[in-house]
Structure 1
Amino acid sequence: MKSQLQDEFNLAIRDYQLTPKTVVVVAVSTGVDSMVLLTLLENLPLAKRPKIVIAHVNHKLRNQSSEEQAFIEAYAKAHQLKLEIEVWPVSKHPKTGIENAARKIRYTFFAKVADKYQAQFLFTAHHADDQAETFLMKLVRGGSLQQLQGIGVRQLTKHTQIQRPLLNFAKTDIREFATDNHVKWYEDETNTDQSLTRNRMRTEIVPKLKQENSKFLAHVQSYETQLQRLFRATSQHADELVKQIMSKDGYQTEAFLKLSPEWQDLVLQEIALQKLGAGKLTDSQRIEILHLLHNQQKPTAQIQVSSQMLFSKNYAQFGFFPASELREKGQAPVYSMLKLNQWHDIGEYGTVGWFDANKISQDLVNADQVMKLSKNQIKTPFFVGAGSVDIKLRLKNGGHKSIRRVLMDAKVPVSKRKGWPVLKDANQQAVWLLGIRKSWLEEPFDSQQQQYFIIWKTNNLEELN
């Protein structure tokens, strides 16, 4: 195995057409995967060996973080490699969603390093087991077929592509190579935390599937390749159809409805991808929009798809528009109604839902962003939308404070203040400026009345790609 993995890596890396002039940034955590990737790159023949820049983030999440930073500093010096380090101070760690925040810190830093050195690639050490775990996590979570795409190639910056040279290699082979070649690495203590979905997939589910079929990892990678090829082909044709139905101020409703039902769905997804970004339109929103486009009894209507974006149907045309743009045209802000015991997507701000207290799991009740209410305090149902900054929240002393002032006190960037989601009840009473401040309700909580929980959570699913 000592030479086999290196030989196979040397063959796989040929696709990148590396030369001594090629600059690559290598994301190194000091774990076994990234240390092996670094070693394999250093062992390439001189004619194929690129200029290596190590990028390391000290997240300050583990006791050994400082030791790992010192190790990679010594390693880079001994191997005469350029090194860039980002330290994420504990004082800047968020109270919730730390995994998602850490990922954003990493890739923002990687992009800066890539721009600094004009790197052609960012190499990360994701391998075949990571691919299988990601695939299974998305399969279990559910969603659109496109979301089943696992770890793949994407752009980091205009000039830098993210590539994963170890995707065809199993974790066991990587560990064996590290042991045989005396590669030093640090074990992440959180890898044994069974409360994390990925760790349960890694230690319980994937090993059993490997026992069922020794080629399981290769089959997952094959499915991923096929899915990506299929989606590229359908996306290309969908893009052609989008251009055919495009109008000056949106898209032609009549031309859209002449498409087959299958292509209507795919074209709408392509439009949403172009206007909103990947994963921003939920399945329920897509179905609701398709129903609206077919409903001749509603020639004009709007659907809130996020705190800042609306879908608008206006007789012969439709499209996605910023809520602020429609408000400037004299249209009132749109609030979307929440359905009892269901989650409601609010785009980049996460998801919100209101639940019967008797029909909710204790795990959700214990979450940080929860509001408990009794029926006498509010008028249901609830509505969420990008409220006016002049809306007022009630204070404990009976006074009021405008959302504008609350957002300023919370140091929310000016660019986000107009779009921040507000939860109201059926009486248009502001109940919660989500994630920032709850309104002090006039009526006291009554434990004898029907009780509800309002829960807000950010999109912090642990993902790799």
Structure 2
Amino acid sequence: MKLNVKKFENQLLQRLRDLKISNKKVLLAVSTGVDSMVLLSGMLKLSKVLDVEINVAYIDHQLREQSKEETKFIKEFCFARNIPLYVYRWEKEEHPVQSIEAAAREVRYNFFEKVLKENNIEYLVTAHHGDDQAETFLMKLIRGGNIQQLQAIQSVRIFREDYQIVRPMLIFNKKEIYDYAKQLGIKYYEDETNKSDDYQRNRLRHHIIPVLKAENPEFLKHVLEYTQQLTNNLQAIQEVADVKLNKISKEETLDYNKFVKESPLWQRILLERYLEVKGLEIKETQVQQILAMLNDEKKPQAKFDLNEKFEFYHEYLKIGIRIKSTTSLNLEENFELKLNQWHNLEEGKKIGLFKINEIELMPGDETLVVEDNENWVIRHRQPGDSLKMSFGNQKIKKVFIDKKIPSEQRNKSWLITKNKNEVYWILETKKTDLSLAPQNAKIHYILVFRKK
């Protein structure tokens, strides 16, 4: 059946209006293939009705012999029609040995962002069509992973935070696009690599999708409808999840008690949304392992490697994501405190030993009055350490457990000791209740811990 050109153009016009592409300045991504040349030609015909200002971005990837001819063609095409054209040439020496498709995509979208930014354009319009949608959907389904990936190619999505990618051609199939180009005599170039079955997308295009279309001619339409329904449902769930996350959030962490009170279903949804907000994508097995870790009542502290850089952690009443520590702690590190001298610690904190009448205390200072100024040493904890108390010695491990001090913080904690082995103060946690300065002592000394 011959394509109705007027109907095709009316459908494109309505779709562009539905996607809010009217009275706008837009950037079209053009490759000189049939899809983008039909989109460009169609939008040029509709530009006055839509009142759109069309700009074109083109990348010479130098991956094919005919790339010079294609570049010459698009330059002449745009020049003849007074269309602003932005061209980027990807030099061959910049091509990677492996994963060239992924690298080429990154180059394209980096260039698109640059053009959008420099020319104050908000909308990037691409020529993805219904067959692209079906291919991407099947590829995601075969690969497996998060259900959100089955949204495949969305009609509109945010791009690099400040821009929008709009895809008005998803309502058309490849045959309709070829027919439109043929009837209007639109010139375009074929990418020879599209004929090769070396790529999964091409194998689906050549062998699987034709079978599915034969089973049901409405197959592409159904895929588009299904992905749109999925997008709508996921958006609704996301809105509720964001409200719930806001209620259990504490700065950059989540309240553990509130999280585990949620049903197992919502725990999963909230965890996945939290990771998404943080820009992290993990496998289904990792999600299951984290949920199992969080619901293990015997382990109030635990951590899970997300990737080489980040870890998910549970520390008593809070859970969250943090960068892995790359520095190893020297547990043997110790320093003797000298009279009237400060010893600097991390994050601007410091500890010092002074005569009690020769130091001006500041609000927030923590202190311990002592009898003498000799053999006071600051160090990290060691196996068997106990804190000197009036009722006897208290294991430092028990102090940390009672105070719910996370393991990471325990290892970094500083201990004030006498003769290296008698612990009298765990900075920022607990200190002895013993009186270390007899009333009849001629001179009293004071240990001062200052946070800032």
- TM-score calculated relative to the size of structure 1: 0.68
1:169 match: 172
Matches within 5 A, 1:29-428: 29-44=31-46, 46-152=48-154, 153-248=156-251, 250-277=253-280, 280-324=281-325, 327=326
Q: Per-residue displacement from partner, 1:364-399 (whole Å, max 9, x unpaired)?
A: xxxxxxxxxxxxxxxxxxxxxxxxxxxxxxxxxxxx
Tell me how large the CA RMSD over aligned residues is: 1.7
Q: CA deviation at 1:156?
A: 2.1
Q: Report the Cα distance in structure 2 between the residues aligned to 1:312 and 1:141, rounded to whole angstroms.
A: 29
2:447 match: none
Q: Report the Cα distance in structure 2 between the residues aligned to 1:17 and 1:141, rounded to whole angstroms.
A: 33
Q: Report the Cα distance in structure 2 between the residues aligned to 1:66 and 1:135, rounded to whole angstroms.
A: 33
Q: Report the Cα distance in structure 2 between the residues aligned to 1:249 and 1:31, rounded to whole angstroms.
A: 46
Structure 1: state its 5+ residue gaps. Answer: 333-465
Q: What is the identity, as a one-letter code, of the residue corresponding to 2:271?
A: L
Matches within 5 A, 1:432-443: none
- Structure 1 pair 265–54 and aligned structure 2 pair: CA distance change class (3 A): same
Q: CA deviation at 1:270?
A: 0.8
Q: What is the identity, as a one-letter code, of the residue corresponding to 2:282?
A: L
Q: CA deviation at 1:24?
A: 0.5
Identity over aligned pairs, percent: 38
Q: Report the Cα distance in structure 2 between the residues aligned to 1:330 and 1:301, rounded to whole angstroms.
A: 19
8 Å Cα contact 1:301-1:313 kept in structure 2: yes
Q: Report the Cα distance in structure 2 between the residues aligned to 1:245 and 1:158, rounded to whole angstroms.
A: 26
- Structure 1 pair 290–54 and aligned structure 2 pair: CA distance change class (3 A): same
Q: CA deviation at 1:119?
A: 1.3
Q: Classify the secondary structure of the residue corresponding to 1:184.
A: coil
Q: Classify the secondary structure of the residue corresponding to 1:62.
A: coil
Q: Classify the secondary structure of the residue corresponding to 1:61.
A: coil
Q: Per-residue displacement from partner, 1:435-461 (whole Å, max 9, x unpaired)?
A: xxxxxxxxxxxxxxxxxxxxxxxxxxx
8 Å Cα contact 1:192-1:199 kept in structure 2: yes
8 Å Cα contact 2:134-2:223 kept in structure 1: yes
Q: Classify the secondary structure of the residue corresponding to 1:167.
A: helix
- Structure 1 pair 90–263 and aligned structure 2 pair: CA distance change class (3 A): same
Q: CA deviation at 1:160?
A: 2.2
8 Å Cα contact 1:245-1:251 kept in structure 2: yes
Structure 2: state its 5+ residue gaps. Answer: 332-452
- Structure 1 pair 45–73 and aligned structure 2 pair: CA distance change class (3 A): closer
Q: Per-residue displacement from partner, 1:335-387 (whole Å, max 9, x unpaired)?
A: xxxxxxxxxxxxxxxxxxxxxxxxxxxxxxxxxxxxxxxxxxxxxxxxxxxxx
Q: CA deviation at 1:331?
A: 11
Q: Classify the secondary structure of the residue corresponding to 2:258.
A: helix
- TM-score calculated relative to the size of structure 2: 0.70
- Structure 1 pair 176–248 and aligned structure 2 pair: CA distance change class (3 A): closer
Higher relative contact order (CA 8 A, sep 6+): 1
